[in-house]
Chain A
Amino acid sequence: MRFFSFHLMPYPGLPPDYDGPAWITCPNSFYDPALGGSLYNRYIDELLLAEELGFDGVCVNEHHQNAYGTMPSPNLIASILAHRTSRVRIAVVGNALPLYDPPTRVAEEFAMIDCISGGRLIAGMVVGGGPEYYSFSLNPAQARERFAEAHDIIIRAWTEPGPFEHIGKHYKLRYVNSWPRPVQQPHPEIWIPGVGSLETLEFVARHRYAYMGIPYFHISVFERMFKLMREACRNEGYEADPLQLGWLVPIFVADTDEEARRRYEDHFWYFVRRLLPGINISPPGYTSVRSWENIAKGAASFALNLQSWDEVVAGHYAIVGSPETVAEILAEDVERMGVGNLLGLFQLGTLPAEDTTRNLELFAHEVMPKLRAAFPATGHAAAPLAAS
Chain B
Amino acid sequence: MTALAAGTLETRIGAVELHTGGEGGPAPLLYLHSAQGEGPGMALLEHLADSRRVAVPLFPGFGSSEGLEHIDDIEDAAFHLLDVTERLGWTHCDVVGVSLGGWMAAELAVRWPERIRRLVLVNAVGLYVEGSPITEIFGRPFGELADDLFADRDHPLAQLMRTVADTLEKDPAAIPFDVVRPFLEALAATAKVGWNPYLHDPKLLGRLHRIGAPTLVVHGVRDGIVPRPHAEAYAAGIPDAQLVDLDGAAHLAALERPDEVAKLVLGHIGD
Contacts and interface: CB of A to CB of B under 8 A. Distances in A.
Contacts of A141: 188-189, 191-192, 195
B184 interface: yes
- Shortest 3 CB-CB contacts between residues of A and residues of B: A285-B188, A284-B187, A296-B172
Nearest to A130: B139
13 contacts: A134-B138, A139-B195, A141-B188, A141-B189, A141-B192, A142-B72, A284-B195, A285-B191, A289-B188, A293-B177, A297-B173, A300-B171, A300-B174
Interface string A262-294: 000000000000000000011111000100110
Contact of B191 (A140, A292, A299): A140
Nearest to A305: B170
Interface of A: 130, 133-134, 137-142, 281-285, 289, 292-293, 296-297, 299-300
Given A284-B138, A297-B173, 17 more contacts: A134-B139, A137-B195, A137-B196, A137-B198, A138-B196, A141-B188, A283-B139, A284-B184, A284-B188, A284-B190, A285-B188, A285-B192, A292-B181, A296-B172, A296-B173, A299-B173, A300-B174
A139 B196 contact: yes
Given A284-B187, A284-B188, A292-B184, A300 B172 contact: yes
Given A137-B196, A292-B180, A283 B172 contact: no
Interface residues of B, number: 22
B185 interface: yes
Given A134-B139, A138-B196, A293-B177, A283 B191 contact: yes
A217 to B, nearest CB: 13
Interface in B186-219: 187-192, 195-196, 198
A299 B172 contact: yes
Contacts of B191: 139-141, 283-285
A340 to B, nearest CB: 30
A137 B196 CA distance: 6
Interface of B: 72, 138-139, 170-174, 177, 180-181, 184-185, 187-192, 195-196, 198
Contacts of A297: 173
Nearest to A302: B172
Nearest to A138: B196
Nearest to A24: B139
A281 B195 contact: no
B185 A140 contact: no
Contacts of A282: 139
Contacts of A134: 138-139
Contacts of B72: 142
Contacts of A289: 181, 184-185, 188
A347 B195 CA distance: 36
The prevalent SS among residues of A at the interface is helix
A134 B198 CA distance: 11
Contacts of B192: 139, 141-142, 285
For B138, B139, B185, B198, the residue with the greatest tally of chain A CB atoms inside 10 Å of its CB is B139
B195 A140 contact: yes
A292 B139 CA distance: 15
Contacts of A283: 138-139, 191, 195
A13 to B, nearest CB: 26
A140 B171 CA distance: 23
For A284, A297, A299, the residue with the greatest tally of chain B CB atoms inside 10 Å of its CB is A284
A70 to B, nearest CB: 23
A285 to B, nearest CB: 3
Nearest to B198: A137
A141 B190 CA distance: 9
B139 A281 contact: yes
A133 B191 CA distance: 11
Nearest to A137: B196
Contacts of A300: 170-174
A281 B184 CA distance: 13
Contacts of B173: 293, 296-297, 299-300
A282 B188 CA distance: 11
A141 B24 CA distance: 40
A289 B188 CA distance: 10
A284 B140 CA distance: 11
A281 B136 CA distance: 14
A142 B73 CA distance: 11
A141 B195 CA distance: 9
For A137, A140, A282, the residue with the greatest tally of chain B CB atoms inside 10 Å of its CB is A140
For B72, B173, B184, B192, the residue with the greatest tally of chain A CB atoms inside 10 Å of its CB is B173
Contacts of B174: 300
Nearest to A299: B172
Nearest to B180: A292
A293 B174 CA distance: 10
A142 B192 CA distance: 8
A232 B170 CA distance: 30
B93 to A, nearest CB: 29
A233 B269 CA distance: 61
Contacts of A285: 187-189, 191-192
B185 to A, nearest CB: 6
Nearest to A287: B184
Contacts of A292: 177, 180-181, 184
